[in-house]
Amino acid sequence: MSANHQSHTKRRLISSYFTTIISISLVLFMLGILGLILLNTQQISNHVKENIGFSIILKGEVKDVDINQIKKTLDAENYVKATHFIHPDTAAAELQRDLGEDFISFLGYNPLLPSIDVKLNADYANTDSLSIIEADLLNNPNIKEVIYQKDLVSLVNQNVKKISFYMLAFSGLLLFIATALINNTIRLSIYSKRFLIKTMQLVGARHSFIRRPFVLQGIGNGIVSAFIAISLIIVVLYYFQQQYPELIDFRNFELYGALFLIMIVLGILISWISTNLAVRKYLRIQTGDLY
């Protein structure tokens, strides 16, 4: 019976150890993912804003040399990320494909004008900057019209600010929940060893002596869990870098290094505090209350 009891106790301890490691790893992984989002918020915001642009509609009689001059001038501007000239024949072919009808045959001519699509740099993707840019471009006699969606530009800028605020609030909430989850997991692990703690106390062991192996194990669990979580984060980073290279930049070593260091520190700190609190509870509890 004694051998069976020892075997059963050993299995429970191993199970408790792995449960603690997995739980802490998953919580740190969630915090790491949130950290990644927060660290890349500006880059994501810039990516969204840089997809905002406007179209410059040129006059029908504009010459090729004037088109090239306008395009070169735009490419030299600080607010321009990229430009793309669209020939009337190309625009007509795309419109026919979208409509599914040959409107040129019906009309007898191509009504579309040459245009230049302009993608903005993120700093200029706002209604104030676009109004100034529009007024400046319309001074060119070869430009007929500047088209952009004012409501969309305002909506994107408003939503980016709201999302940033919500992400910050959500980060605080998740950190609180993560701390509570890790704390509960460690408490359950210590609970299975409450009789061992009380036995050591009854034979005269000092509180610091009793706490030390539990705290060291807790810190070890935190470190192991952090490295598991970091490995999972790297896998996620690699996947998203393959799918969305414009959003993930592996060259920013300092940024990701800081995130991984924070994850390790969090794993150690939360485990250390939770283990200390849990052991202290069972050091103060009466023997009759252990059952």
Domain carrying residue 12:
2-45+157-290
Give the residue among 210, 225, 231, 230 at the shortest CA–CA distance from 276.
210
More confident residue, 96 or 77: 77
Q: Do the Cβ atoms of 227 and 219 come closer than 8 Å?
A: no
What is the mean pLDDT of the segment spanning 270-285? 74
Q: Are residues 38 and 61 in the same domain?
A: no
Per the domain annotation, does 68 fall within a domain?
yes
More confident residue, 72 or 110: 72
Report pLDDT digits (tens) over 223-251: 888 899 899 988 888 887 777 666 666 56
Per the domain annotation, does 272 fall within a domain?
yes
What is the pLDDT, as a whole number, of residue 11?
A: 63
CATH number of the domain enclosing 79: 3.30.70.3040
Percent of the chain with pLDDT over 70: 72
How many domains does the chain contain in total? 2
Least confident of 78-92, 98-112, 148-162, 204-218: 148-162
What is the pLDDT, as a whole number, of residue 5?
A: 46
The residue to which tokens 């794993």 are assigned: 267
Q: Are residues 260 and 121 in the same domain?
A: no
In this predicted structure, the answer to whether residue 1 has a pLDDT above a threshold of 50 is no
Q: Quote the mean pLDDT of the chain.
A: 77
Q: Are residues 112 and 256 in the same domain?
A: no
Q: Are residues 177 and 143 in the same domain?
A: no
Q: Are residues 202 and 230 in the same domain?
A: yes
Domain boundary among 112, 127, 147: 147
Q: Are residues 173 and 279 in the same domain?
A: yes
The CA distance from 73 to 25, in Å, is 54
Q: Are residues 257 and 213 in the same domain?
A: yes
Q: Are residues 203 and 255 in the same domain?
A: yes
CA distances (Å), 167 to each of 4, 131, 158, 170, 204, in order? 51, 31, 14, 5, 51
pTM of structure: 0.58
The CA distance from 91 to 87, in Å, is 6
Residues facing residue 146 across a β-bridge: 56
Q: Are residues 20 and 57 in the same domain?
A: no
Per the domain annotation, does 281 fall within a domain?
yes
* Length of the chain measured in residues: 291
260-285: string of b/e by CB count within 10 Å (b at 16+)?
beebbebbbebbbbbbeebbeebeee
Q: Are residues 161 and 21 in the same domain?
A: yes
Domain boundary among 147, 168, 192: 147
The CA distance from 7 to 5, in Å, is 5
What is the pLDDT, as a whole number, of residue 16?
A: 63
- DSSP H helical ranges for the chain: 2-39, 41-50, 64-75, 88-99, 103-107, 127-137, 150-191, 194-202, 207-243, 253-284
Per the domain annotation, does 66 fall within a domain?
yes
Q: Residue 289 — pLDDT band, cuts 50, 70, 90?
A: low
Per the domain annotation, does 40 fall within a domain?
yes
More confident residue, 254 or 188: 254
Q: Are residues 162 and 191 in the same domain?
A: yes
Please state the separation of Cα 248 from the chain's center in Å: 10
Report pLDDT digits (tens) over 160-214: 667 767 766 776 776 677 667 666 766 666 666 667 776 776 777 777 777 787 7
Domain boundary among 147, 168, 197: 147
Per the domain annotation, does 240 fall within a domain?
yes
Q: Which amino acid is at 158?
A: Q
Report pLDDT digits (tens) over 37-79: 777 766 767 777 777 788 888 888 888 888 889 999 988 888 8
Per the domain annotation, does 152 fall within a domain?
no
Q: Are residues 98 and 212 in the same domain?
A: no
